[in-house]
Amino acid sequence: MKYVDGFVVAVPAENKEAYLALAAKAAPLFKEFGATRIVECWADDVPGGTLTDFRMAVKAEEHEEVVFSWIEYPSKEVRDKANEKMRADPRMKEMGDSMPFDGKRMIYGGFAPILDE
């Protein structure tokens, strides 16, 4: 069964192109490690909430936009092996040094799909 890693992060609006360049550089590595699909989405219609919302979840500041992304894998086992490979790969470590956002405010997690139409 498929497995999905999901991410939400606040990116300074002026770093949109740098974020996209980093994502484009990382995507082939994720595929090399076993991912079948990588999707990056820049906020377009993200309403504010009264109790919580995407912006509050990542403590987005006024000059930042929310990015919602996910990576699909054929299974949790493939994803777990991919994560091991990523942690050991010097190319990934190099990219981690140049993130155009505050990684401490990123939220992420692994998800087992319960409906896939």
Q: Using one digit for the tens of pLDDT, what is the confidence trace for 52-68?
A: 999 999 999 999 999 99
In angstroms, the CA 86 to CA 44 distance is 30
Domain ranges (residues) in the chain: 3-111
* Cα 18 off chain centre by: 14
Task: State in words which class domain 3-111 has.
Answer: alpha beta
What is the per-residue DSSP string for 15-60?
Answer: GHHHHHHHHHHHHHHHHHHT-SEEEEEE-SS----SS--HHHHTT-
In angstroms, the CA 4 to CA 18 distance is 24
Q: What is the pLDDT of residues 2-45, one digit of tens each?
A: 999 999 999 999 999 999 999 999 999 999 999 999 999 999 99
* Predicted TM-score of the model (pTM): 0.92
